[in-house]
Amino acid sequence: MKMSVIGCGHLGATHAACMAALGHEVIGVDIDEDKVTLLNSGKGWFHEPDLDPMLADCIERGRLRFTTDFTEAAGFAAVHFLGVATPGYPDGSYDMSQLRAAVSSLVPHLRGDCLIIGKSTVSPGTAAGLQAMIDDMRGPGQGRVEVAWNPEFLREGCAVADTLRPDRIVVGAGSTAAAETIREIYRPQTDTGIPLLLTDLPTSELAKGAANAFLATKISFINAMADICAATGGDVSALALSLGLDPRIGKAFLRAGIGYGGACLPKDVRGLGAFALEIGAQNAAALLGAVDAVNQARIGQTVSLVEASVAEVAGSRVAVWGATFKAGTDDVRDSAGLLIAEQLRTLGAIVTVYDPMGGGNALVACPELAYADSAISAAVAADVLVVTAAWPEFAQADAAEVGRVVGRKAVVDACQGIDGATWREAGWRVSSLTGVPAGEAQSAVQGPGRSWAR
Ligand SMILES: NC(=O)c1ccc[n+]([C@@H]2O[C@H](COP(=O)([O-])OP(=O)(O)OC[C@H]3O[C@@H](n4cnc5c(N)ncnc54)[C@H](O)[C@@H]3O)[C@@H](O)[C@H]2O)c1
């Protein structure tokens, strides 16, 4: 099938490449010429494992190309995916301007009946709003342009695998024809047993926000439990194992630490919360507000641990290991590490940040911070080291070697990123957000032939 994907970012470029890899003919559209040029050369403008070879291969086979020209896209296909960003306003509500701009650029060029399939994360009612906007733009006899929704569940760091083999495909469509077209697009995947759930439009629009809100709730729940552990001498890692071994709960997203960040969870919790408030769903708004508050508090709690580790923050040298919102990506959007580094800088600390992959993006996002090109050089003369992303490089760092370059051997492990016991043995003062530092708890849960002690 021929299709366009409008907005070629983390979602759109990955979706375009994967649809082409599944056998479709795809044109990607973005307003940013530099991104389009890079993508046409077979390279993503962000780090995502396995994406570049797939882009290059699909371009080479003639199944994929990128353009800034909406006329070209409108002439090429009758099916158009929307993958532009939906960032949050300060009140939490979604900024729909990219979606509206994309629709305004595309629709005047469409001829005959067409289908627009939204993939961006939005509030319920968005498809209906875009449909009304499109209907106003179309004159009589120009054919029907229908809007459907098909939310995206990919995770950065494994976006290609998630797009090719999603847990589920959710489709909200107002007509049988639209539903059948989308079924046809995903036939190569549904034929392998991947479930496709056909829903009404509001449910499909809610599906992604609700999923992210639930995951965020798990993270904030275990972080709230970490506060109780910290006050009582409990070990939140053992508590998380105990909870996670209950199949009704599951062990995913129960890792206590710095909280969630990135381009999705924070804005989607706030987006859904703002929408709940708008429609008078007070309980939903209160629940999501509490999840957000617990998460935001982790920043201040980490800064407090740093303050407790040094005599005076102002003038202290702080090394921050981790600028991305999680390991395995170069995305620094809503990164707790950068927020902590910025807050410490504002308090007068001399902060040096290192990240294995996100240093370039961090420099653009926070140009006032100093950046090092290695973990060890960031740590030179530091009064305190703060670990804010669980990169394997940090877990594998030699505590003795790092200890030789720092000013004082004090480390705040905000994300269970290092083995506290090993670092303490090497003479470090270790503090963490998880009550008992990782690796130092007495508790152990025995599995068959295996110790789960932490
Ligand atoms: N990043 C993720 O992991 C992820 C996962 C699932 C869902 N989502 C959702 O997908 C949507 C996109 O997120 P993203 O992270 O890919 O954003 P992004 O910022 O990486 O990409 C957005 C792209 O749209 C382009 N763009 C902006 N305005 C445009 C316009 N008018 N016409 C054409 N292109 C335009 C930008 O240049 C950019 O390349 C959001 O709603 C997000 O919540 C993201």
How far apart, in whole angstroms, are the C-alpha atoms of residue 308 and residue 120?
42
Is 8 touching ligand 1 by the criterion CB < 6 Å?
yes
Sole residue written with tokens 């950068």: 338
Is 31 touching ligand 1 by the criterion CB < 6 Å?
yes
| Low pLDDT (below 70) residues in the chain | 435-454
Task: Output the CA 35–ligand 1 centroid distance in Å.
Answer: 12
Task: Output the CA 366–ligand 1 centroid distance in Å.
Answer: 21
Structure tokens at 289: 């507000």
Minimal CA–CA distance to 305: which of 134, 446, 154, 437? 437
* Residue of minimum CA distance from atom 10 in ligand 1: 120
How far apart, in whole angstroms, are the C-alpha atoms of residue 448 and residue 174?
51
Residue 130 in contact with residue 116, Cβ under 8 Å? yes
DSSP 146: E
The model's pLDDT over 118-160, given as tens digits with 9 standing for 90+, comes to 999 999 999 999 999 999 999 888 899 999 999 999 999 999 9
Q: Is 264 in the active site?
A: yes
The model's pLDDT over 437-449, given as tens digits with 9 standing for 90+, comes to 544 544 444 434 3
* pLDDT of res. 434: 80
* Residue of minimum CA distance from atom 20 in ligand 1: 9
pTM: 0.92
* Residue of minimum CA distance from atom 31 in ligand 1: 102
How far apart, in whole angstroms, are the C-alpha atoms of residue 454 and residue 444?
7
Task: Output the CA 342–ligand 1 centroid distance in Å.
Answer: 26
**E strands, 311-442, in order:** 317-321, 350-354, 370-371, 384-387, 410-413, 429-432
* pLDDT of res. 152: 98
Minimal CA–CA distance to 134: which of 107, 162, 97? 107
Q: Which atom of ligand 1 is nearest to the CA of 84?
A: 24
Is 7 touching ligand 1 by the criterion CB < 6 Å?
yes
Q: Which atom of ligand 1 is nearest to the CA of 153?
A: 6
Q: Which atom of ligand 1 is nearest to the CA of 120?
A: 41
